[in-house]
Amino acid sequence: MNLKSMVAAGLLATLPVTLPVTGHAETGQLTGLLKVELNKVEEIEGGGCRAFFLFRNQTGKSFAGFEMSLAILDGQGVIDRLLSIDAAPLPVQRTTLKLFEIPQISCANISEILLHDVTSCQPQNEDQMDCFPILELGSKSSAQLVK
């Protein structure tokens, strides 16, 4: 090994090591995120709005139950309605597409969708848990998705 290689190896040995966040199935811990993205909205023929959600499960566990209560806010920021959606199952390390219809409101008149509550969050073969700490919300549509 020449001097240049030895210096480079020595410098690499002193750098901090950062490991990726992963789930630990053997300990029952969730250390990754469950990302929920409002990917797009489209008008439904005859009235209403169809919302396309992407669920990116990076938690290390599959979810047998996952239900959300959403508040739909109109163009003036006033709550128009509450909507309950069931997104289960959510397989581990997968991205899942779910479509939900929001009746009697045009997509252009939805300013925001508020995640009001997670009414069910149950990992496969486990008890219910609080999913709010592991949720990351985002939107690529004109309506924002917020907690």
SS3 of residue 73 by DSSP: strand
Of the candidates 110, 104, 90, the one whose C-alpha atom is nearest the C-alpha of residue 38 is 110
Domain boundaries, the chain: 3-146
CATH topology for the 3-146 domain: Immunoglobulin-like (2.60.40)
Give tens-digit pLDDT for 52-86.
Answer: 999 999 999 999 999 999 999 999 999 999 999 99
The whole-angstrom separation of Cα 7 and Cα 3 is: 6
The pLDDT of residue 120 is 97
Alpha-carbon Rg of the chain, whole angstroms? 21
Which CA distances in Å does 48 have to 20, 33, 52, 83? 41, 31, 13, 13
Instruction: Write the DSSP string, 18-34.
Output: -PPP--BTTTTB--S-E
Of 24 and 87, which is predicted with more confidence?
87
pTM over 0.75: yes
